[in-house]
């Protein structure tokens, strides 16, 4: 999926205080590209990702996905686009605690009305690819942090998203597990051919990407 941002700004008002989080952002991401975004805590990285993922709206400016102005569409069409085309990986996994790994991965397809047997087969295949073939029936409470993150990655890839967004995907993991999770995320990204945007505070993780952006003062700086 090709991504374009044109004059994007986000402002929060708290009482009498105006907080300019993002300021006149312009960004082009080619379809299939993968980029990392770093910045200090509070720099607006998560806000940017939420707008890109259509979970939040900008105060001004446009977000174009494959040339279409996404926020000019009715809300129900934006919701449908998000479920069909965008995958999310969060620092906190947001897995359903009362359901096993297999069902957690199946969930996006079930919500979309997919055939349950087909959804189960794909979910199992994805879990095996991320090394969890022996954990299919385990609930999140029985999985380690790294295993839960792998479930979250498989869930994000369930519908083969055109755009994959990751917010601090290794933030709560030890260095060894972080490396394993990153390798799996990149491998699945390559397999599907999705556009990948990763927000992180880790310079080491960011340096694994050929294109790196630094968010400073509400604007992007390209890093060499």
DSSP structure string for 19-74: EEEEEEEEEEE-TT-EEEEE--TTSSHHHHHHHHTTSS--SEEEEEETTEEGGGS-
With bands split at pLDDT 50, 70 and 90, how would you rate the model's confidence at 43? confident
pLDDT of 59 strictly over 90: yes
pLDDT of 101 strictly over 80: yes
- At residue 127, the pLDDT reads 93
In this predicted model, what pLDDT tens digit does every residue of 187-197 receive, in sequence order? 878 888 899 99
pLDDT of 111 strictly over 90: no
Joined tokens for residue 205? 């993780």
Mean of the pLDDT values across residues 73-89? 90
- Asked whether the beta carbons of 99 and 139 are under 8 A apart, the reply is yes
- At residue 224, the pLDDT reads 57
- Asked whether the beta carbons of 49 and 38 are under 8 A apart, the reply is no
pLDDT of 81 strictly over 80: yes
- What's the CA gap between 218 and 214, in Å, rounded? 10
- What's the CA gap between 109 and 123, in Å, rounded? 9
With bands split at pLDDT 50, 70 and 90, how would you rate the model's confidence at 182? confident
pLDDT of 65 strictly over 60: yes
- At residue 24, the pLDDT reads 92
- What's the CA gap between 159 and 12, in Å, rounded? 33
- What's the CA gap between 119 and 121, in Å, rounded? 5
Which range, 38-47, 101-110, 142-151, is most confident? 101-110
Mean of the pLDDT values across residues 62-69? 94
- At residue 7, the pLDDT reads 94
- At residue 99, the pLDDT reads 96
13 exposed, middle or buried (CB, 10 Å; 0-12, 13-18, 19+)?
exposed
- Asked whether the beta carbons of 153 and 188 are under 8 A apart, the reply is yes
In this predicted model, what pLDDT tens digit does every residue of 117-165 receive, in sequence order? 999 999 999 999 888 999 999 999 999 988 998 898 889 888 889 999 9
Name which of 17, 19, 141, 8 is nearest 69 in CA terms.
Answer: 8
What percentage of the chain has pLDDT greater than the value 70?
Answer: 99
- What's the CA gap between 72 and 69, in Å, rounded? 6
């Amino acid at each position: 999926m090709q991504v374009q941002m044109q004059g994007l700004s986000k402002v929060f008002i708290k009482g009498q205080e105006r907080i300019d989080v993002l300021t006149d952002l312009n960004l082009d991401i080619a379809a299939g590209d993968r980029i990392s975004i770093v910045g200090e805590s509070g720099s607006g990285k998560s806000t940017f990702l939420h707008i890109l993922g259509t979970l939040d709206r900008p105060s001004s400016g446009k977000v174009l996905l494959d040339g279409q102005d996404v926020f000019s569409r009715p809300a129900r069409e934006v919701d449908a686009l998000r479920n069909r085309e965008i995958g999310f990986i969060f620092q906190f996994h947001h897995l359903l605690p009362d359901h096993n790994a297999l069902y957690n991965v199946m969930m996006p397809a079930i919500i979309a009305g997919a055939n349950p047997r087909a959804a189960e087969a794909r979910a199992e295949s994805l879990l095996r690819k991320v090394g969890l073939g022996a954990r299919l029936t385990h609930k999140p409470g029985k999985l380690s942090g790294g295993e839960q993150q792998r479930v979250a990655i498989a869930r994000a890839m369930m519908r083969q998203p055109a755009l994959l967004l990751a917010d601090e995907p290794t933030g709560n993991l030890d260095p060894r597990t972080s490396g394993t999770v990153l390798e799996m995320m990149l491998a699945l990204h390559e397999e599907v051919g999705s556009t990948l945007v990763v927000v992180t505070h880790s310079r080491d993780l960011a340096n694994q990407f050929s294109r790196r952006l630094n968010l400073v003062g509400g604007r992007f700086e390209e890093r060499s």
